[in-house]
C-alpha cells in the first residue's frame, strides 16, 4: 500500500496516483495522511488527524447550529477506482429530515499531484443551510523555511506565517480571505523556499460564487485550511452541491510556479475570453497612458498640475480625481453633485485639460451611502441596503473626523443600479469627465434581504449585478468619446467589466508598515495580458485633508514635503510598478516638486518614457520567471503614513528595513520576444552579468540583444547557439529594458 505501515493500512483507505497519496480513516472519514512522493513527505501531523473534513452551519430560529461528521450515526465509503473515493455520512439524530446526508467525493488527477474535492448535502428542504465548510484540511505541519503566498488583491507573500499568526491577539489565530473580493484569484500556496516544494490549494469555480478561504493556527503549531461555501437560503432544491470543486495538492517550485499552474486554468475561463482589454474594448487613449496623477480637491489642485506634467513628459497623462464632489469624503456619499467648485468652473477646467491631452476620471464609491445624508432618509435608501442573516445593515465608520457612517448598498436591487447609473451619466455627459473610478468595485457581499429579488445569502448574484450595472452605465456613454470605468483592486471575475484596475500594494509599506507581508505581482503573473493595472500611494508630500472636514483637525502645513530620507521609498515604489507591468502613478503631485524633488520627479518621468517605449512587454506581455541575479540590498527609511492627514497631526511614522536596490521583471511579447525591465534605485553602478539558455524562454537559438531606454533602442550584442550572455553596467538610478529578439 504505497509504503504505509500495516497499522495504517488497517485504519485507512488509500487513494494513490504515484504523485500523491491520501489516506482516510475507515471509521470516521478523517484525512490522516497526505503524502508527496517526490519528497517522501507527509504534510499532516499524525498526532492531529481526527478533525472533521466538513462543518455545516444550520440557520435555526434560536441561532446558528454547527454540525460536523461526528454528528452522523453512520459512515461508509466507496472506492470507485484507485484514484476516486466517495465518503458518505448519514443518520443524523439531531436533524428531523431522515434523508439528510453528506457525501464527499475525492478524486486524484491522473498525471498531476493534485486532487479534486466535491461535497453534496442532501435532504435540506426542511433545513436551512447557511454555510458549508469544505474541505477542512487540518494538522498541516511546518514544512520548514516556510513561505505563504496569497493573491490578496495583487498578491502578497509572508515568510514564517506561523510566527505571525501566533502573534494575533484573541483565541483564534486566523487569516481569512473573501472571494470574489480582496482575494483576486482562487488559490494559495504554502511552500519550503529552499527545497522548492509545497502545498497548493485552490477552487475551480468558473462562475465566481461567494466563498471564503482561511488558514488557522492551532495550539500544536499546525495549520488548518478551510473553504467556506455559502448556499442560498431560499433554494427549492433538496440538495446543495457547489458547482465547483476544491483542488488540493502539492507542487514543485515557488509562488511563480503556482501562478503558472493557475494560469493554465484561469486563462481558459470566461472572464479571460471576455476581458475588455484582451478584446480591444478599452479606449486606446487609456492603453497609451504614460503616467497617472492621483490628486484631490478642486481643479486648480488637480488638473492644472496634471497639465504641467503632460508638458514636461510630452506623453499622455491621466488624472485619478478624488474630492471633486460637493459632499464630504467618506460620509456624504452619494451626494456627489454638483462639484464643490461649481458646475461652470468644473466644466471649464475639464475642457481645458482635455485640449491639452489630459483626461480625468472621477471618484464615486459604487456601493456606499451616508446614513446621515438627507438623501438617505428622503429616498428610503435603507430598504435597498445589504442585510446580514439577522437583518442588520453593513454599516461602517470610515471617517474619523466627522464620525458619520457609510452603509453598503445591495447591487442586487434595481434601485441602486439606477441611482449609480444616473450619477455616472451626469458626470460624463453633463460634467464632461472621461469616466468613473468605482471605489470598492472588486468586492462582493452576502445579502439576506428577501425583498431585493436576488437569491438569499450565498450565490454569485453580486457579480452578475455588477455586470448589469456596468452595462447599464455604458449605455449612457457617448459613442464619440473615450470614456472608461476603473475600479478598486483587481480580480479575475471583474476582467469583463472594468477597463482599469487600481493596485496599490507596490506601496503597501506606506499604508501597512512592516506587517510581515511583502507584495508580489501574483495577479500580473497570471492575468497581465488581460488587465490594465495602475496605481501607487507613492508621494513626496504629507497626506492631504478634505477641506469639507472639520477645520479643527486640519494640518497647519498642508502638503508639506516629506523628509528627504524617504525619497528612496518613492523610487522603490515606482521601480516596483515599472518592472511589474503597471501604468505608473504619482500621488499628490504639485509643481513645486519638480524643483524641490527634482531627482525623484526626473526618475518618474524617465521611467514613464522607458515604459512607453516597451509597451509590447510592459502592457501586453506575459509574465515570465526572471533569471537569477545577485542583487545588493540597503537598509531604507520607510514612511508609514495615513492615507489622509491624521486626527492628531502626527501622520508620519517610520521604520527601517532592508530592500533590494535593483528591481527587475521579465516579460514575453506576443511575437515571442523577451523584455527584462530593470530599474535601479542605487546610488552606485551595478554590473549586470547573467546567462540565459534560449530554450528556457522558447527563443530562437540565435538573435540579438538591445537596450531600450527613454531615448529608444540601442544594440548591445548578438547571441548564437542558444547561449545568451548579458553583460553591461546599469548606471546609478538607470531604467531600461533588456530586449532579446530574433
Determine what percent of the chain is predicted with pLDDT higher than 70.
Answer: 97
Q: Do 423 and 537 sit in the same domain of this protein?
A: yes
Specify the pLDDT at position 63.
Answer: 87
Specify the pLDDT at position 357.
Answer: 95
Mean pLDDT of 376-391: 97
Q: Do 339 and 245 sit in the same domain of this protein?
A: no
Specify the pLDDT at position 649.
Answer: 58
> For residue 237, what pLDDT band results from cuts at 50, 70 and 90?
confident
Rounded distance between C-alpha atoms, residue 580 and residue 508, angstroms: 15
Tell me: pLDDT of 440 over 60.
Answer: yes
Q: Do 285 and 253 sit in the same domain of this protein?
A: no
Handedness of CA 349, 351, 352, 357 (dihedral sign): positive
Domain annotation covers residue 365: yes
Tell me: pLDDT of 2 over 60.
Answer: no
Tell me: pLDDT of 422 over 50.
Answer: yes
Q: Are 45 and 53 in contact (CB under 8 A)?
A: no
- CB count, 10 Å around CB of 628? 7
* Site of grid cell 448556499: 231
Count the helix, strand and coil residues of the chain and give each as a percent rounded to the nearest 5. Answer: 25, 35, 40
Q: Are 553 and 545 in contact (CB under 8 A)?
A: yes
Q: Do 424 and 487 sit in the same domain of this protein?
A: yes
Cell readout for 726 is 548579458
What is the domain range of residue 345? 275-623
Tell me: pLDDT of 194 over 80.
Answer: yes
Q: Do 295 and 224 sit in the same domain of this protein?
A: no
Rounded distance between C-alpha atoms, residue 68 and residue 50, angstroms: 12
Rounded distance between C-alpha atoms, residue 188 and residue 161, angstroms: 13
> For residue 234, what pLDDT band results from cuts at 50, 70 and 90?
confident
Rounded distance between C-alpha atoms, residue 654 and residue 658, angstroms: 14
* Site of grid cell 528591481: 663
Tell me: pLDDT of 255 over 60.
Answer: yes
Q: Are 192 and 145 in contact (CB under 8 A)?
A: yes
Q: Do 221 and 287 sit in the same domain of this protein?
A: no
Q: Do 538 and 658 sit in the same domain of this protein?
A: no
Rounded distance between C-alpha atoms, residue 416 and residue 423, angstroms: 11
What CATH number is attached to the domain comprising 707?
A: 2.60.40.1180
Give how many domains the chain has, as a whole number: 3
Q: Do 246 and 315 sit in the same domain of this protein?
A: no
Q: Do 352 and 466 sit in the same domain of this protein?
A: yes
Domain annotation covers residue 1: no
Write down which residue in 605, 623, 641 finishes a domain. Answer: 623
Specify the pLDDT at position 49.
Answer: 67
Specify the pLDDT at position 4.
Answer: 41
Q: Do 559 and 705 sit in the same domain of this protein?
A: no
Tens-digit pLDDT profile for residues 446-485: 999 999 999 999 999 999 999 999 999 999 999 989 999 9
Q: Do 280 and 419 sit in the same domain of this protein?
A: yes
Rounded distance between C-alpha atoms, residue 384 and residue 397, angstroms: 19
Tens-digit pLDDT profile for residues 263-295: 999 999 999 999 999 999 999 999 999 999 999
Tens-digit pLDDT profile for residues 119-168: 999 999 888 899 999 999 999 999 999 999 999 999 999 999 999 999 99
Specify the pLDDT at position 38.
Answer: 93
Specify the pLDDT at position 10.
Answer: 56
Mean pLDDT of 95-114: 94
Specify the pLDDT at position 678.
Answer: 98
Tens-digit pLDDT profile for residues 199-233: 999 999 999 999 999 999 999 999 999 999 999 98
Domain annotation covers residue 619: yes
What CATH number is attached to the domain comprising 299?
A: 3.20.20.70
What CATH number is attached to the domain comprising 186?
A: 2.70.98.10
Tens-digit pLDDT profile for residues 508-559: 999 999 999 999 999 999 999 999 999 999 999 998 999 999 999 888 888 8
Tens-digit pLDDT profile for residues 702-730: 999 999 999 999 999 999 999 999 999 99
First to last CA, the chain: 52
Write down which residue in 266, 288, 307 finishes a domain. Answer: 266
Residues in the chain: 742
DSSP 413-457: SHHHHHHHHHHHHIIIIIS--SEEEEETTT----B--TTSSS-SB
Domain annotation covers residue 628: no
Tens-digit pLDDT profile for residues 660-694: 999 999 999 999 999 999 999 999 999 999 999 99
Mean pLDDT of 106-122: 97
Domain annotation covers residue 646: no
Q: Do 246 and 391 sit in the same domain of this protein?
A: no
> For residue 564, what pLDDT band results from cuts at 50, 70 and 90?
very high
Q: Are 97 and 122 in contact (CB under 8 A)?
A: no
Mean pLDDT of 67-93: 95
Specify the pLDDT at position 714.
Answer: 98
Residues with Cβ within 8 Å of 480's Cβ and at least 6 positions away in sequence, in order, are none
Domain annotation covers residue 510: yes
> For residue 645, what pLDDT band results from cuts at 50, 70 and 90?
low
Q: Are 228 and 242 in contact (CB under 8 A)?
A: no
Specify the pLDDT at position 7.
Answer: 45
Specify the pLDDT at position 8.
Answer: 45
How far, CA to CA in Å, does 226 sit from each of 51, 176, 445?
12, 9, 19
Cell readout for 241 is 452541491
Write down which residue in 237, 266, 295 finishes a domain. Answer: 266
Domain annotation covers residue 151: yes
Average pLDDT, the chain: 95
Domain annotation covers residue 108: yes
Tens-digit pLDDT profile for residues 576-615: 999 999 999 999 999 999 999 999 999 999 999 999 999 9
* 3-state helix/strand/coil string of 77-104: EEEEECCEEEEEEEEECCCCCCCCEEEE
Does an H or E element contain 156, and which? strand 156-159
Amino acid at each position: 500500500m504505497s509504503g504505509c505501515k500495516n497499522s495504517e493500512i488497517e485504519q485507512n483507505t488509500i487513494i494513490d496516483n504515484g504523485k500523491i497519496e491520501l489516506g482516510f480513516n475507515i471509521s470516521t472519514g478523517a484525512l490522516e495522511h497526505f503524502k508527496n512522493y517526490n519528497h517522501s513527505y507527509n504534510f499532516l501531523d499524525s498526532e492531529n488527524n481526527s478533525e472533521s473534513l466538513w462543518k455545516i452551519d444550520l440557520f435555526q430560529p434560536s441561532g446558528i447550529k454547527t454540525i460536523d461528521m461526528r454528528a452522523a450515526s453512520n459512515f461508509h465509503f466507496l472506492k470507485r477506482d484507485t484514484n476516486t473515493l466517495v465518503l458518505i455520512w448519514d443518520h443524523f439524530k439531531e436533524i428531523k429530515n431522515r434523508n439528510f446526508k453528506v457525501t464527499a467525493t475525492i478524486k486524484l488527477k491522473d498525471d498531476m499531484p493534485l486532487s479534486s474535492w466535491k461535497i453534496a448535502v442532501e435532504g435540506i428542504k426542511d433545513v436551512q443551510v447557511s454555510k458549508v465548510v469544505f474541505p477542512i484540511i487540518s494538522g498541516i505541519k511546518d514544512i520548514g523555511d516556510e513561505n505563504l503566498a496569497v493573491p490578496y488583491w495583487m498578491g502578497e507573500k509572508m515568510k514564517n506565517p506561523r510566527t505571525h499568526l501566533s502573534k494575533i491577539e484573541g483565541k483564534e489565530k486566523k487569516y481569512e480571505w473573501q472571494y470574489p473580493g480582496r482575494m483576486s484569484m482562487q488559490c494559495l500556496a504554502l511552500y519550503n523556499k529552499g527545497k522548492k516544494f509545497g502545498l497548493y490549494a485552490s477552487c475551480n469555480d468558473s462562475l465566481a460564487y461567494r466563498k471564503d478561504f482561511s488558514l488557522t493556527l492551532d495550539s500544536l503549531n499546525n495549520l488548518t485550511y478551510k473553504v467556506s461555501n455559502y448556499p442560498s437560503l431560499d433554494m427549492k432544491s433538496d440538495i446543495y452541491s457547489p458547482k465547483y470543486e476544491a483542488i488540493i495538492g502539492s507542487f514543485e517550485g515557488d509562488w511563480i510556479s503556482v501562478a503558472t499552474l493557475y494560469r493554465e486554468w484561469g486563462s481558459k475561463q470566461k472572464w479571460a475570453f471576455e476581458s475588455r482589454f484582451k478584446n480591444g474594448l478599452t479606449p486606446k487613449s487609456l492603453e497609451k497612458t504614460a503616467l497617472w496623477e492621483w490628486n484631490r480637491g478642486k481643479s486648480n489642485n488637480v488638473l492644472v498640475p496634471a497639465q504641467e506634467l503632460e508638458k514636461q513628459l510630452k506623453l499622455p497623462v491621466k488624472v485619478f480625481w478624488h474630492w471633486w464632489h460637493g459632499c464630504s469624503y467618506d460620509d456624504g456619499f452619494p451626494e456627489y453633485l454638483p462639484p464643490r467648485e461649481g458646475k461652470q468652473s468644473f466644466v471649464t477646467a475639464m475642457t481645458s485639460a482635455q485640449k491639452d491631452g489630459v483626461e480625468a476620471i472621477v471618484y464615486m464609491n459604487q456601493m456606499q451611502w451616508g446614513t446621515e445624508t438627507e438623501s438617505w432618509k428622503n429616498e428610503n435608501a435603507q430598504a435597498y441596503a445589504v442585510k446580514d442573516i439577522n437583518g442588520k445593515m453593513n454599516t461602517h465608520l470610515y471617517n474619523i473626523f466627522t464620525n458619520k457612517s457609510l452603509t453598503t448598498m445591495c447591487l442586487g436591487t434595481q434601485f441602486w443600479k439606477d441611482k449609480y447609473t444616473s450619477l455616472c451619466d451626469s458626470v460624463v455627459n453633463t460634467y464632461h469627465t472621461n469616466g468613473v473610478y468605482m471605489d470598492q468595485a472588486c468586492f462582493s457581499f452576502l445579502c439576506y434581504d428577501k425583498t431585493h429579488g436576488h437569491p438569499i445569502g450565498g450565490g454569485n448574484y453580486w457579480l452578475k449585478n455588477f455586470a448589469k450595472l456596468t452595462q447599464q452605465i455604458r449605455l449612457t456613454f457617448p459613442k464619440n468619446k473615450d470614456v472608461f470605468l476603473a475600479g478598486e483592486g483587481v480580480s479575475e471575475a471583474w476582467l469583463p467589466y472594468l477597463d482599469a484596475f487600481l493596485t496599490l500594494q507596490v506601496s503597501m509599506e506606506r499604508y501597512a508598515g512592516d506587517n510581515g507581508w511583502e507584495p508580489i505581482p501574483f495577479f500580473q503573473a497570471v492575468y497581465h495580458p488581460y488587465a490594465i493595472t495602475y496605481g501607487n500611494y507613492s508621494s513626496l508630500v504629507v497626506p492631504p485633508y478634505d477641506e469639507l472636514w472639520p477645520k479643527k483637525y486640519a494640518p497647519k502645513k498642508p502638503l508639506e514635503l516629506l523628509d528627504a530620507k524617504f525619497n528612496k521609498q518613492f523610487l522603490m515604489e515606482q521601480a516596483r510598478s515599472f518592472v511589474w507591468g503597471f501604468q505608473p502613478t504619482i500621488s499628490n503631485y504639485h509643481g513645486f516638486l519638480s524643483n524641490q524633488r527634482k531627482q525623484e520627479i526626473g526618475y518618474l518621468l524617465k521611467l514613464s518614457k522607458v515604459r512607453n517605449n516597451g509597451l509590447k512587454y510592459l502592457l501586453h506581455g506575459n509574465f515570465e520567471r526572471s533569471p537569477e541575479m545577485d542583487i545588493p540590498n540597503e537598509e531604507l527609511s520607510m514612511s508609514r503614513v495615513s492615507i489622509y492627514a491624521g486626527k492628531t497631526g502626527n501622520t508620519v511614522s517610520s521604520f527601517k528595513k532592508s530592500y533590494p536596490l535593483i528591481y527587475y521583471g521579465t516579460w514575453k511579447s506576443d511575437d515571442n520576444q523577451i523584455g527584462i525591465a530593470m530599474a535601479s534605485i542605487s546610488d552606485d553602478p551595478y554590473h549586470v552579468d547573467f546567462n540565459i539558455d534560449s530554450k528556457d524562454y522558447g527563443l530562437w537559438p540565435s538573435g540579438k540583444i538591445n537596450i531600450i531606454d527613454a531615448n529608444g533602442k540601442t544594440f548591445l550584442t548578438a547571441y548564437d547557439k542558444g547561449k545568451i550572455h548579458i553583460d553591461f553596467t546599469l548606471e546609478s538610478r538607470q531604467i531600461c529594458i533588456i530586449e532579446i529578439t530574433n
